[in-house]
Amino acid sequence: MGTRASRPNKPPRAVTTTTKPRKPRPKQVELPFRQNGGRRPGAGRKPKGEQALVSHAPRALLAARFPAHVTMKLLRGLPKLRNRPEYASLLATFAAGCDRAGFRLTHYAVLNDHLHLLVEAADRTALSRGLQGLAIRVAKALNKLWSRRGTVFADRYHDRILKSPREVRNALRYVLGNGKKHATEGREVQVKQAIDTYTSAPWFDGFRETVTVRGLEAVPRPVTVARTWMLTIGWRRLGLLSVHDLPATG
Q: In the 8-state DSSP scheme, what is residue 20?
A: P
Q: List all residues 6 or more positions away from 197 whose beta carbon is below 8 Å from its beta carbon.
A: 213
pTM of the shown model:
0.75
> What is the number of other CB atoms lying within 10 angstroms of the CB of residue 238?
13
Asked whether the predicted pLDDT for residue 23 surpasses 90, the reply is no
Domains, in order of start, for the chain? 68-238 (3.30.70)
Percent of the chain clearing pLDDT 90 (strictly above): 60
CA distance 180 to 196: 7
| Higher pLDDT among residues 116 and 101, named by residue | 116
At 48-71, the pLDDT tens digits run: 554 445 454 455 678 999 999 999
| Higher pLDDT among residues 77 and 17, named by residue | 77
Asked whether the predicted pLDDT for residue 106 surpasses 70, the reply is yes
Asked whether the predicted pLDDT for residue 191 surpasses 90, the reply is no
Asked whether the predicted pLDDT for residue 45 surpasses 60, the reply is no
Q: In the 8-state DSSP scheme, what is residue 175?
A: H
Contact between 152 and 146 (Cβ < 8 Å)? no
CA distance 140 to 152: 9
CA distance 111 to 78: 13
What mean pLDDT do residues 127-148 have? 96
Dihedral over alpha carbons 117, 240, 250, 116 (to 10 degrees) = 10
Mean pLDDT of the chain: 84
What distances in angstroms separate CA 147 from CA 78, 90, 140, 143, 144, one per listed residue?
12, 16, 10, 6, 5
| Higher pLDDT among residues 32 and 119, named by residue | 119
pLDDT for 117 equals 97
pLDDT band at 249 (very low <50, low <70, confident <90, very high): low
Tell me, what amino acid is at 230? Answer: M
